[in-house]
Structure 1
Amino acid sequence: MRRFWGLMRAYWFSDRWKEAWGLTLAIGLLTAMSSKASVWIAEASGELVNSIAFFHDPANLTPLASLLTGAGTLLLLVLLKDAGFIGIRHLFSTTLHRKWRGWLNGRFNEALLDNNHTHFHLQHGARAETDAFPTLDNIDQRVQESIKGLTGGAIGLAMGILGVVMSLFFVGQKLLETSTMVNGLEFLGHYGSAVLAFAAVTAYVPINTYIAMKLGGLLERLTVKIQQAEGSYRGELTTFLRRSFHVAASRSESVHKEVHNRLYRDIDETWARLNNIHAGYLSFELFYNFVAARIVAYTPALIPYIHGKIGLKGYVTGAELVGSLITQCSWFIHVMPEISALKANARRVADLAEAIENVQRPKEFYRLSGHCEFCYRTQHSVFGLTVQNLELMHQGSDVMPFLVASNLHFRRGEWIFVRGEAGCGKTCLLKAINGLWPYGRGNIVLPESVKSFYATQDVKLPQVSLKQLVCLPCGRDTYSDAHVAAALHKAGLGELIEHLNHEAREGGIWDRILSGGQKQKLVLARILLHQPGLLFLDEATGALDPEAKIAFHQAIKDNCPNVIMISVMHEISPPKSATGVEFYDSVLTIANAVATKRPVAAYLSVKPATLIAQSEPAGRKPRQLPNISLKRSWGGM
């Protein structure tokens, strides 16, 4: 589905091909009937005009009956076409739109949320300006709005093309049947008037279609641009609303107002240009319709009518047929703005599909913009976790590593406390071990058949039940209510057990009503429920007060005896239990771009001032310690 036609045909050759082709055939049949009805309406219009013209003719013995019959027949045919064929076709086409969009949305949903973490690589794979695969903007808009516009526009386009083909067949057939000889074109025989009609359509429609296509190209480019601008503005607004507390606390509304105004100015300027093109196109289309309906449609049959070759009925019928033919062949002109929107949506969806396919092999993908030579293997769980010759880098082919770890070994049941200055690479190290850091090289040997769990400081909760939140990443039926309730109780959230199967509490979803500390306790409940053998805590206790941090660690110590825990924290010294016993066995220090590991006793034997000096970048003077306790105080949120 990397290209337009791949997107167009994928659904019809999927496992739901019967549904797709069944709806398509129904739409095609109804379109053909609608085109045939146009011929019947043209004939009925001729009969009605003829009955009006000869209403007072002495030869017309039943003028009123003829008039009423003609009007009634025309009304019934219009009703049959519009309310019958077209109305029912609309129902089938909207059903096809809904089914196709749902299938395509499901495919992208599965692709983005696969085990390869495709959604992560698409958003965090930094790209150079010269890369063949640029970073995608507004993925949410592409999946939601662009797919909807693509599927709806494609169905409308297909129905329009089919309508044109059917009209050419039925209307053309009728024009040939009713054709007559034209003075000056006797060599054409009885096909003279039909040839004139086809010549008029051929001369008028293509030229104007070309003009419409040029205008449509401008509309397409502006549509893509306004979609990008709208998506950026919506994305910024969504992010702002999610962090509204932080904006209010920092009183930074003026800054966000400036950002919003700048983003909306881009929308407004693009919208203005788009409106100008739309206005010009509308004027062109109205003028085109007038000339087509009032001049071009009535010109071909005028010559044979003047020379008495056909009567008024034949003249009106022929004009109606030519008008119907022009209308159908001009369908591209009438829907060119929609076609431009379709092409714009197709481009954005195809770009997304291509990007998803490009990141299916992350190593090859990241090698396009930097070094990516990580090797992941497994070993027996008794040997724990091993990291060898690890070098972490940023994007680029000639960059130096910002973190080096030559040989690190973490034995089963060992707790490791990671410390270092902000920005030294603590989180990057955890990401690299988990396969979430793109650039660098090294060997990571993981314990086999062991569950891994990665907890971060910032906890985002999807809108599901409390039980589902605790069971993540497993399904809610994986664990019993009793097991989940026990985990919540051990994590210090026993008061929430009665709301286990609720998606909200007191009208608010869990992500909004739980404090930062409660969210981190919820993560603790997950850990206690899943019993991982490899646990990464990336400042996962930052929102807890000192007592709650001790309880957090104690709960893991009591319930996960063989877990390898690697924890990043802000504290200078690792926390201890309530009885003064060390939780952590080792300290991993990152200083001057090098990671070194030593026993916690050796680390604590170093004087506090020396510890801080070791964490300072080279060339910077050590910070002076104030005359206060080294233990940092943390307030709950």
Structure 2
Amino acid sequence: MLKLDKMDSSISKLDKTFWKDFFNILKPYWLHSEEKKKAWLLFFVIIFLNLFQVFLNVLFTKWYKVFYDALQHFDEKGFWKALLEFSVLATLFIVSAVYATYLQQMLQIKWRAWLTSFYISKWVSNKKFYHMQVIEQNTDNPDQRIADDVNAFISQSLSLFLGLMSSVVTFFSFVGMLWIISGPISFNAFHIKITIPAYMVWAAIIYAIAGTYITAKIGKPLVKLNFDQQMFEANFRFALIRIRENSESVALLNAEEKEHQNLMDTFRYVFQNYWQIMVRQKMLGWFTSGYNQIAIIFPILVAAPRFFAKKIQLGDVMQIASAFGQVQSSLSFIVNSYSSIATWYSVVDRLRTFEKNIKAIETSQRQSKISILPSQDKLAIEHLSIKIPYSEKLIVKDLNLTIEKKEHTIIMGPSGVGKSTLIRAIAGIWPFGEGTIKLPPNHMFLPQKPYFPYGSLREILLYPSTDGKAVPNEYLEELLDMVGLSYLSKDLNTKNLWSQVLSPGEQQSLNIARVLLHSPDWLFMDESTSALNEEKEIHLYSLLLEKLKNLTIISVAHRKSLEDFHIKKLILKENAQYEITYIQKSLKSI
């Protein structure tokens, strides 16, 4: 659903609620899934490999002193020995880095597969995917939340956690080394001699704190900008898909120029927001690039006086530079990862918004006062009042209606009076209102616009059944012939986007063939033959009553000619009023 809503300010703060929601997203997979043991094992192996790389970096830093001291003293034997040691360390580092990446990707795809299935299940269960459009409309593009945000959440959460963990371990691994090798610094202030022990450690800490503060100040707007960018990109994709799905209508209306304008208007949000991201990232880039470049030369500049005074050797200088770089880099995790953190933050916000709205729908469903109860052989509607969402305006007021088996009923009334909404309430997907509906088993609902998933005509006829192997093609060809679509028999196993290939009338005829295949006892038709001419419509109604002997039809229709196939008539009127009458039985309805 195309929306231009902004990020919900009530959930956009990095507070306890944010972290609680974040851990609620983590818990299903890591604490409750059937894969949790394997996931934890894989996770600990990845952690071990990352820690092993930190250990290797410590050995590399110690190696710097040996190698550069050998160079300074023209020690050829020591030089080649150091190179051999480097080869061993480099080999171990490469192997651990490759497997750390490989296993992290393995964990990512396993976690994504599970979490995607989990969210799809939550979204489609109990009609939430429909209610999200009419009850809780703050979730823009829920398809993108599942397809893109879940993937981004997993990959970025893993990367940031491992990066943070490595930074913490690196800091504690190198800070002791830097404390020892950096030495003290002394200076006079107000005629007082001040000595700072391990001054390089304090320099690294102060430098990183200042850099983190400035980075946070510059980069803070990126959180909201990234949130909006994901939404605008999804809206633009949705607009493109809409044209593809309605290509015939657009082409017949010669609306190419208008659609081009609409698409560019939608893309304008993408462009303008991305431009703001560019400007903000440029500001951030100026600072972080300068920050990191200064950090490279700073420890060498500070150690240079001691080197030229011949108090330390070249190996000591390189070791100090390496150790300072590791400490400073570990303390600068936020500075170096701020763009990634901002993106991750916006992704978490989008997923927690999705979770929040799912829960709101579940609450609304539980609070619905329309009770759907089972019935044996009749449809009974008792004291049913239907409302417009978030309004006290009634569509139907205190409806009492009983339809016995084979007591075919037609629902009529002016357009927009609420006929389709009544069918939705009977189906249990409209929660706004109160009353009781006793619904018999083996029922089927046919909307005005059929839904055909991508696939073969065979799969469409069997839909939504998942097991249709026992149905022979010959029987399906017979059904197509009955509804006047025999020319499609040759394409029974041809996969296509049939909703784009078939005309509205052909789609409705194919839907009737689907009814004949599934053989319901109760059929609710919401203008399900409105795209057909009167002769074809009469033929299909006659066919349904002839082939399905136990069928009871409840129709929403406008054409008077269909009254002949019904016994009872419900007329919905303005101001939530209604009238129930009986139709004189004709030859067609007997």
TM-score interval for Structure 1 and Structure 2 normalised by the shorter chain: 0.7 to 0.9
Q: Is the 8 A contact 2:505 2:532 kept in 1?
A: yes
Q: Give the Cα separation in 1 of the matches to 2:562 and 2:317.
A: 97
Q: Give the Cα separation in 1 of the matches to 2:47 and 2:450.
A: 51
The amino acid of 1:138's aligned partner reads: N
The corresponding residue for 2:544 is 556
Q: Indicate how the Cα distance of structure 1 residues 373 and 291 shifts in structure 2: closer, same or farther if over 3 A, else same.
A: same
Q: Is the 8 A contact 1:454 1:536 kept in 2?
A: yes
**Structure 1 segment 398-547 matched on structure 2, within 5 A:** 399-404=392-397, 406-447=399-440, 450-477=441-468, 479-481=470-472, 484-500=476-492, 502-504=493-495, 508-547=496-535
1:52 corresponds to 2:47:
no
Higher mean displacement: 233-242 or 247-256: 247-256
Q: Indicate how the Cα distance of structure 1 residues 226 and 599 shifts in structure 2: closer, same or farther if over 3 A, else same.
A: same
Q: Indicate how the Cα distance of structure 1 residues 469 and 253 shifts in structure 2: closer, same or farther if over 3 A, else same.
A: same
Deviation readout 1:461-488 (Å, 9 max, x if unpaired): 1113333221222213375225545544
1:121 corresponds to 2:131:
yes
* Structure 2 counterpart of 1:8, from 26, 48, 61: 26
Deviation readout 1:512-547 (Å, 9 max, x if unpaired): 322222221221122112211221111111222333
The corresponding residue for 1:588 is 570
The amino acid of 1:286's aligned partner reads: S
Q: Give the Cα separation in 2 of the matches to 1:602 and 1:455.
A: 25
- Whichever structure has more helix as a proportion of its residues is 2
* Structure 2 counterpart of 1:326, from 325, 328, 331: 328
Q: Indicate how the Cα distance of structure 1 residues 151 and 38 shifts in structure 2: closer, same or farther if over 3 A, else same.
A: same
The corresponding residue for 1:374 is 370
Q: Give the Cα separation in 2 of the matches to 1:309 and 1:555.
A: 103
Q: Give the Cα separation in 2 of the matches to 1:208 and 1:375.
A: 60
Partner secondary structure for residue 117 of structure 1: helix
Aligned residues: 560
Q: Give the Cα separation in 1 of the matches to 2:456 and 2:58.
A: 60
The corresponding residue for 1:28 is 47
Q: Give the Cα separation in 1 of the matches to 2:217 and 2:476.
A: 63
Q: Indicate how the Cα distance of structure 1 residues 181 and 224 shifts in structure 2: closer, same or farther if over 3 A, else same.
A: closer
Q: Give the Cα separation in 2 of the matches to 1:77 and 1:235.
A: 51
The amino acid of 1:120's aligned partner reads: Y
Q: Is the 8 A contact 1:51 1:67 kept in 2?
A: yes
Q: Is the 8 A contact 2:47 2:162 kept in 1?
A: yes
The corresponding residue for 1:600 is 583
Q: Give the Cα separation in 2 of the matches to 1:262 and 1:184.
A: 64
* Superposition deviation, residue 310 in structure 1: 3.3
Q: Give the Cα separation in 1 of the matches to 2:481 and 2:398.
A: 39
Q: TM-score, normalised by structure 2?
A: 0.88
Q: Is the 8 A contact 2:183 2:198 kept in 1?
A: no
Q: Give the Cα separation in 2 of the matches to 1:466 and 1:321.
A: 67
The amino acid of 1:42's aligned partner reads: T
- Which has the higher Rg, Structure 1 or Structure 2? 1
Q: Is the 8 A contact 1:376 1:445 kept in 2?
A: yes
* Structure 1 counterpart of 2:379, from 362, 369, 385: 385
Q: Indicate how the Cα distance of structure 1 residues 478 and 568 shifts in structure 2: closer, same or farther if over 3 A, else same.
A: farther
**Structure 1 segment 82-101 matched on structure 2, within 5 A:** 83-101=94-112
**Structure 1 segment 82-481 matched on structure 2, within 5 A:** 83-114=94-125, 116-125=126-135, 135-175=138-178, 178=181, 195-295=198-298, 297-298=299-300, 301=303, 305=307, 309-364=311-366, 372-381=368-377, 384-397=378-391, 399-404=392-397, 406-447=399-440, 450-477=441-468, 479-481=470-472
Partner secondary structure for residue 417 of structure 1: strand
Q: Is the 8 A contact 2:565 2:586 kept in 1?
A: no
Q: TM-score, normalised by structure 1?
A: 0.82
Partner secondary structure for residue 298 of structure 1: helix
Q: Give the Cα separation in 1 of the matches to 2:319 and 2:568.
A: 94
Q: Give the Cα separation in 2 of the matches to 1:53 and 1:503.
A: 76
Partner secondary structure for residue 511 of structure 1: helix
Q: Give the Cα separation in 2 of the matches to 1:603 and 1:137.
A: 50
* Superposition deviation, residue 141 in structure 1: 1.3
Report sequence identity in percent: 23
Partner secondary structure for residue 601 of structure 1: coil
Q: Indicate how the Cα distance of structure 1 residues 380 and 546 shifts in structure 2: closer, same or farther if over 3 A, else same.
A: same
Q: Is the 8 A contact 1:463 1:503 kept in 2?
A: no
Partner secondary structure for residue 402 of structure 1: strand
The corresponding residue for 2:76 is 64
Q: Is the 8 A contact 2:386 2:395 kept in 1?
A: yes
Provide the alpha-carbon RMSD of the alignment: 2.7
Q: Give the Cα separation in 1 of the matches to 2:79 and 2:92.
A: 20
Q: Is the 8 A contact 2:567 2:585 kept in 1?
A: no
Higher mean displacement: 484-493 or 213-222: 484-493
* Superposition deviation, residue 556 in structure 1: 1.0
The corresponding residue for 2:191 is none
Partner secondary structure for residue 466 of structure 2: coil
Q: Give the Cα separation in 2 of the matches to 1:194 and 1:241.
A: 69
The corresponding residue for 2:89 is 77
The corresponding residue for 2:3 is none
Q: Give the Cα separation in 1 of the matches to 2:470 and 2:569.
A: 35
Q: Is the 8 A contact 1:47 1:70 kept in 2?
A: yes
Q: Is the 8 A contact 2:64 2:319 kept in 1?
A: yes
* Superposition deviation, residue 193 in structure 1: 8.9
* Superposition deviation, residue 10 in structure 1: 3.1
Q: Give the Cα separation in 2 of the matches to 1:181 and 1:340.
A: 38
Q: Give the Cα separation in 1 of the matches to 2:22 and 2:470.
A: 44
The amino acid of 2:101's aligned partner reads: H
The amino acid of 1:586's aligned partner reads: K
Which runs of 5 or more residues in structure 1 are unaligned? 56-62, 128-133, 186-191, 366-371, 576-581, 605-637
Q: Indicate how the Cα distance of structure 1 residues 172 and 363 shifts in structure 2: closer, same or farther if over 3 A, else same.
A: same
Q: Indicate how the Cα distance of structure 1 residues 568 and 113 shifts in structure 2: closer, same or farther if over 3 A, else same.
A: same
